[in-house]
Amino acid sequence: MLAQARDEAALAGGSDSAGRLGRANCDGPERMCIVTRDRRGPEDLIRFVLGPDGNVVPDIKAKLPGRGVWVTARAQIVEQAVRRQAFARGLKANAKAAITLPDDVDALLERDCLQSLSLANKAGAVVTGFTKVETAIESGKIALVLHARDAGADGSRKIAQALRRKFGPDAPPQINLFGPNQLDLALGRANVVHAALKASPASSAFLVRCRRLAAYRATSIADEPREIDLSPEAGSGVVDEQGLRPGTEV
């Protein structure tokens, strides 16, 4: 009975101890969200730890030392955790969660995406420029297409048409989560509007991070339709808590 009580207490806290229990009893390394109490894989949650100054610190790579708690990787759920003071209960300490925490997490996830894009570029997986992107599409060996957030509708439409002609309904995804200045810095070149990422492990890693960022912002990144708008401003891509909805064509 005592062991059972300890297990129940661990699950109720949504802490790292709950994750260890989940690994013992489930097929995957599940953790429990301290807000929703849903159990998910770590890729669907964000870990938070207590900093030396008593502030709650996001640990998006789940590598920081110390006791941690997990929250569903959605901005509105992190906001609820702050408002309900769920971190103090989960961490069993006088944890101070800044009101800016949801935005802080967004900035970290975005930076993680851009760092991953930079690594893909260093690996030689990125081509830029409208003509080179069209050529890469025609080769049939691309993982995704990247548009600057303010890319012109005409250029984006022509690239979408090229993708349809080459791949049909199984076309790689199109992503427009980032502004032109962000792409310029990540890729080390000026005036990046369109880019294509060749099929490679580095490109796959970048896409995983983009999916995580889009999900955090409650923006559709569903596989169908593949031609989707992933920017936060895409109203038709916004979803509720019941599931993702396809975005709009670019």
pLDDT at 187: 97
CATH architecture of 103-237: 2-Layer Sandwich (3.30)
- pTM for this entry: 0.78
- Long-range CB contact pairs, 186-191, < 8 A, 24+: 186/114, 186/115, 186/117, 186/118, 186/121, 187/117, 187/118, 187/121, 187/126, 187/128, 188/118, 188/121, 189/128
* pLDDT tens column, 196-205: 999 999 999 9
Per-residue confidence band for 15, with pLDDT thresholds at 50, 70 and 90: low
Per-residue confidence band for 16, with pLDDT thresholds at 50, 70 and 90: low
Per-residue confidence band for 105, with pLDDT thresholds at 50, 70 and 90: very high
Q: Which residue has the higher pLDDT, 244 or 15?
A: 15
Q: Is the peptide bond before 29 cis (omega within 30 degrees of 0)?
A: no
pLDDT at 7: 36
* C-alpha–C-alpha distance, residues 223 and 207, integer Å: 12
Q: What DSSP element (H or E) covers 87? A: helix 86-91
CATH no., domain 2-99: 3.30.1230.10
The least confident of 147-151, 191-195, 245-249 is 245-249
Write the DSSP symbol of residue 85: T
Q: Which residue has the higher pLDDT, 28 or 178?
A: 178
Q: Which residue has the higher pLDDT, 245 or 162?
A: 162
* C-alpha–C-alpha distance, residues 99 and 86, integer Å: 13
Task: Say whether pLDDT at 236 is over 70.
Answer: no
Q: Rounded mean pLDDT of 79-95? A: 95
User: For the chain, what is the mean pLDDT?
Assistant: 82
Task: Say whether pLDDT at 220 is over 60.
Answer: no
State the span(s) of the chain assigned CATH 3.30.1230.10: 2-99
Cβ atoms of 159 and 133 within 8 Å: the answer is yes
Q: Rounded mean pLDDT of 107-126? A: 97
State the span(s) of the chain assigned CATH 3.30.1330.30: 103-237
Q: Rounded mean pLDDT of 43-47? A: 96
